[in-house]
Amino acid sequence: MAKLTNAELAAKVEEILASMSLEDKAGQMFHAMAFVGDPTVASPMTGEITERMIRELRISHFNAVATAPTAEAFAEWHNQLQEIACDAGFKVPITISTDPRHAFADNPGAAMRAGIFSEWPETMGLAAIGDPETVREFADIARQEYISVGLRAALHPQIDLATEPRWARGGATFGESAELTSKLVGPYIRGFQGEELSATSVSTMTKHFPGGGPQKDGEDPHFPYGKEQVYPGNNFDYHLEPFKAAIAAGTAQMMPYYGQPIALNVNGEKIEEVAFGFNKQIITDLLRNKLGFDGVVCTDWGIINEHPIMGDMWEARAWGLEHLSPKERLVRAIEAGVDQFGGEFCTDLLVEAVRDGLISEDRIDVSVRRLIKQKIHLGLFDNAMVDPAEAAKIVGRADFREAGFRAQQRSIVVLQNNQIAGVAVLPLAGAPKLYVEGIDAEAAAKYGVVVATPEEADFAILRVKAPFEPRPKAFESFFHAGSLDFTDEAREHLLSVAAKVPTILDVYMDRPAILTPLIDAIPAIVANFGARPEALLDVLFGRVKSEAKLPFELPRSMAAVVASRSDMPFDTENPIFKFGHGLSI
């Protein structure tokens, strides 16, 4: 279809809007969760039936939860939802969104494992590479895979600045530097969207405005004990820099975070201490009026009603407005400038609010226009269906997987490479005897002779995760928070191996780790941000040159972390490794 002029686009939007009932319009303003599977049965995640949400609640935006066993099955599921909507008399096609799907994350509240898609390092790994062209390549490949199965909205990039080392969501960011994040977010958005939204685009929902990094004590506002967002360094503007770059790159959508700002002043004005999704000063005054963003604003998931997640009931993240009813919260969010509610499906409350005179239908029309306009730009009105056979050819294509593997190799950061008897430990040579932990023995056997004990080995290679304090409930346990110190047991084990054989330690850093007690005993230490064992071993054996740099600093102690200011980058005293550190071998 030829590109519409502005006048033609406006006329088409008004024509569609005029054909919609209030219930249809209300349905547009909800971005519910849909389990990838049979849409006629209740989702194991929410208990809701997708077909009912389409037919009865008139919802046409869904966040795809879980995955399908094949690309064909994923595409067929998408087409099935479009067919249900058509049969239900929808005036608009379905839009399917997704959290990140191309990496190693094991937090289902924030991302999903790659599965059938090509596999890349986490966003933090792309930051460690630091190359805008690699970021653009990733986004373009992900775009092609998404579109082939019907995914047309990305619930990313996440461009919060990880200035609080303990924060559980830091691993999905580009690190703590506003300059680096701003350099990489443009290529990310353009790789998904192109220079403007079109039938070959995946729209990006950039998050979490105005920056979710400065969490008190590093706790996350998914949970009531982590709701406070603090700025002890008066550094609010620093966290806005990446969002300015995202707006300049044309991001189609924006998601405010759950955080409740405490004692925050912006340009001399005290900001109301209510969560950002309800905050008119942040959404309308700052994001829309000052920064000029006119795209869709969608809340983070579950700010209106309490919801069951993995068997436990969690209260609505309506921080600062806990005393209000769900309907009152909904009204407050719309008054603040919100267009859409993530993870909610209470369309009846919105219809009631309009009929009770709490919100005008004209105000609803403002948001629905934005949503329809983006569906038009994405070409969904022209052809919403996808070809399952074509999806099978595109998703996980060999060259896409190879590009992802190369990025994994390039994202390994060599932190330390000391000498033994005058020779640096890395790169390893020949086919040494290897004692391994956290690495599949079959993979390690391609590089050396795997032995059963440290005493038999020439070298030990130990892969561990950055430390965290486990939390009790199922959903909560996926958020790695608390101390960055290794437990006594973990530390003693690593040191005991290192006392027996020259040791190489690889740490998966979804957060920083305190390496101080290990640095003198373990000669070679590297960091990864999601990498297959073969990608790591290629670097350790010198088959690939190391080039990556730390996208955050590694604190010397927990005392230094506690003393640092949550909103300030590079703020821990005398870090053991600074931002940008990385050795070449």
Q: What is the pLDDT of residue 146?
A: 98
Tens of pLDDT, residue by residue over 108-126, are 555 566 689 999 999 999 9
Q: What is the pLDDT of residue 344?
A: 96
Q: Which residues are within 8 A (CB) of 472 and not within 5 positions of it... i.e. 6 or more apart?
A: none
At 64, is the secondary structure helix, strand, or coil? Answer: strand
Domain identity same for 103 and 212? yes
d(CA 345, CA 305) in angstroms, rounded, equals 9
Domain identity same for 291 and 261? yes
Q: What is the pLDDT of residue 555?
A: 98
Please give the torsion angle defined by the CA atoms of residues 227, 330, 205 and 126, in that order, rounded to the nearest 10 degrees: 10
Tens of pLDDT, residue by residue over 331-355, are 999 999 999 999 999 999 999 999 9
Domain identity same for 442 and 364? no
Band of residue 153 on the pLDDT scale cut at 50, 70, 90:
very high
Domain identity same for 148 and 263? yes
Residue 106 clears pLDDT 70, i.e. is over it: no
Last residue of a domain, one of 349, 367, 394: 394
Q: Domain residues for 98?
A: 6-394
d(CA 111, CA 576) in angstroms, rounded, equals 30
Residue 581 clears pLDDT 70, i.e. is over it: yes
Tens of pLDDT, residue by residue over 193-243, are 999 999 999 999 999 999 999 999 999 999 999 999 999 999 999 999 999
Residue 573 lies in a domain: no
**What phi-psi label fits residue 150: left (phi over 0), alpha (psi between -120 and 50 degrees) or beta?**
left
Q: What is the mean pLDDT of the chain?
A: 96
- Adjacent-strand bridge partners of 506: 463, 526
Tens of pLDDT, residue by residue over 406-428, are 999 999 999 999 999 999 999 99
Q: What is the pLDDT of residue 331?
A: 98
Residue 555 lies in a domain: no
Of 256, 260, 255, which Cα lies nearest the Cα of 227?
260
Task: Please indicate whether residue 267 or residue 346 has the higher confidence score (pLDDT).
Answer: 346
Across 520-555, b (16+ Cβ under 10 Å) vs e yields eebbbbbbbbbbbbbbbbbbbbeebebbbbbbbbbb
Residue 146 lies in a domain: yes
The model carries a pTM of 0.96
Domain identity same for 30 and 57? yes
Q: What is the pLDDT of residue 97?
A: 98
Domain identity same for 126 and 245? yes
CATH assignment at residue 439: 3.40.50.1700
Number of helical (H) and strand (E) elements in the chain, helices listed first: 18, 22
CATH assignment at residue 33: 3.20.20.300
Element (H, E) at 462: strand 459-465
Q: What are phi and psi of 545, to 5 degrees?
A: -75, 130
Q: What is the pLDDT of residue 41?
A: 93
Q: Which of 220, 300, 510, 538 is catalytic?
A: 300
Domain identity same for 434 and 355? no
d(CA 300, CA 294) in angstroms, rounded, equals 18
Residue 105 clears pLDDT 90, i.e. is over it: no
Across 48-79, b (16+ Cβ under 10 Å) vs e yields bbbbebbbebbbbbbbbbebbebbbbbbbbbb
Domain identity same for 312 and 444? no
Averaged pLDDT for residues 264-272: 94
Q: What is the pLDDT of residue 44?
A: 79
Domain identity same for 300 and 223? yes
Domain identity same for 470 and 529? yes
Domain identity same for 241 and 331? yes
Tens of pLDDT, residue by residue over 299-313, are 999 999 998 888 788
Tens of pLDDT, residue by residue over 228-241, are 999 999 999 999 99
The residue written with tokens 């706790």 in the block is 219
Last residue of a domain, one of 365, 394, 423: 394
d(CA 197, CA 11) in angstroms, rounded, equals 18
Share above pLDDT 90 across residues of the chain, in percent, rounded to a whole number: 92
Residue 585 lies in a domain: no
Q: What is the pLDDT of residue 28?
A: 98
Residue 568 lies in a domain: no
User: What's the structural domain count of the chain?
Assistant: 2
312 is catalytic: no
Residue 570 lies in a domain: no
Residue 39 lies in a domain: yes
Domain identity same for 453 and 536? yes
Residue 74 lies in a domain: yes
